[in-house]
Structure 1
Amino acid sequence: MNPTRAAVRAGVQRGLTELRNSFTNAQDLWGYVFPTLILLVTIFFMRGATVPGTGFSLGTRTLPSILGMGLAFGGLITLAQQLVVEREDGTLLRAKATPNGMLGYLVGKLTSISTVALVSMVIQLVPALFLVDGLRLTEASAWFTLLWVVVIGLVATLPIGAVIGSLIENPRNLGLVMLPMMGLIALSGIFYPINGYPGWVQAVAQVFPIYWLGLGMRSALLPDNLAAVELGGSWRHLETLGVLGAWAVLGLVLAPVVLRRMARRESGSRVAARRERAMQQAIM
């Protein structure tokens, strides 16, 4: 069998094994359920508010936005977290020691994290449907838009997540990524339309994929007349495709280079040094 094909096959099997372990682990399961509880509580308290200038429920508008945010968070942060942790515990070093091991490792992570992102989205969407109405789930066009937004959203964010994880050596430094991520979420119209924000804030929000994933999910699930409250008064599908596509190209170009550089630097002595520093910090 072709070595690359064998590595991809092994990576898929590795990803499926991680999924099986995750879905039978109580702590991981709580990690899937807890965001759903937060979402339901958020929508519940928003049920009486309306989107400015309309009679449409702000809670219903927020639901697809949060689903888009979840995809972005899973792609950008979850993969980065796992890369950092598994570099520290030596998992990446063991992968590097096998032929095409890094390729198999990355394929496994992409398999498991993308599947978890999709499952989490379903877990959040289904119970939320009992609290909101007005979603256009019976239209074929809605499901088609949902499909391409999810696919390109994952392709746009997962490679960037791999780059972030490759650049951070200490798991404790992940907070340096989380803080700006929370800021971007606040600026990206997830919980409230950004039309009233200053122009420079709108411009910053539109550079990053979180805004476009939220917009894309809203375009899939909300009625067409809600596009009037968005920037430009439309769903801007071409712009969504263009910006997310640009992030996908950037990530796919950078990720292999950064991952190879990171893998070359891994050694037993570096893993041991990181473990020693972690133990000293734990003692302190």
Structure 2
Amino acid sequence: MARKIFDLLIEFCVNYSFRVLGGVIVLVCGWILGKFLAGVVYKQLQKHQVDVTVSKFIVTGVKFAVVGFAVLIALGKFGIEIAPFIAGLSVIGFGTSFALQGPLSNFAAGAILIFTKPFKVGDIIEVVGCVGEVEDMSLGRTLLRTVDGTHIVIPNKHIVGEVIHNDSEAKRVDIKVGVSYDSDTAKAVNIIKNILDADSRISQKIKPKIGIFEFADSSVNLYARLWCRQLEYWDVLFDLNKKILEAFNREHIVIPFPQSDIHIKTAPEGVRRV
């Protein structure tokens, strides 16, 4: 019995060892060749300054194409018929596509984003209520980093079809401050203008806008709209508010608070109070 088993092992090794060895060699060579070609393609894309997101997509596609071709050859070496195998995979893939509609829709949306390029890695965007810098982008998801360092992962299917605000060049800063009706509004506007002009963090590509915004119940509301880098947004906003308050106090510009005037009238003599 042991002799028969030994003979079967010898026969199997003689008949199939070279096939198995050949298949393994094809797989290893395919993996090495895929990595090598992916590296060459990536360098060429970088040389021609192709967008990093598109570069990663193309490089990944090249690598998987080479490795996939090597797998098909290796299957032939193992004695597996490729045609029925591919047919079986297509049937399985067709059935799986219904079960994986969510992930597949993310991949389709990712491909749309990569080639339409509404934004790229490094851009500051606002989408589906999230604001941050695009740190990474793949077929399935987009990774944002907010101003406070929080990472947000957004499935790509939730981005396609939404309104995307790209604030890469500058983010808008809105400042509204009220002054009393007795104050010199022209002087107040000039004070704010001087403060904005003195701050080097404020973008000069888009000139700041300053003026009277509205006439409220207790104040004349002044409004300033300016732009700065996304990462400096909160620092700029806080610093400008502080400087405006200090300058108004120094120049005796009154910032009023809501108040009501109550007038008490004395009833004439002889009039009965109820």
- Whether these two folds match at TM > 0.5 is no
Quick one: higher RCO (CA 8 Å, sep 6+), 1 or 2? 1
TM range (shorter): under 0.3
Query: Of the two, which has the highest radius of gyration?
Result: 2
Q: TM-score if structure 2 supplies the norm length?
A: 0.23
Please identify which structure carries the higher strand content. Answer: 2
Please identify which structure carries the higher helix content. Answer: 1
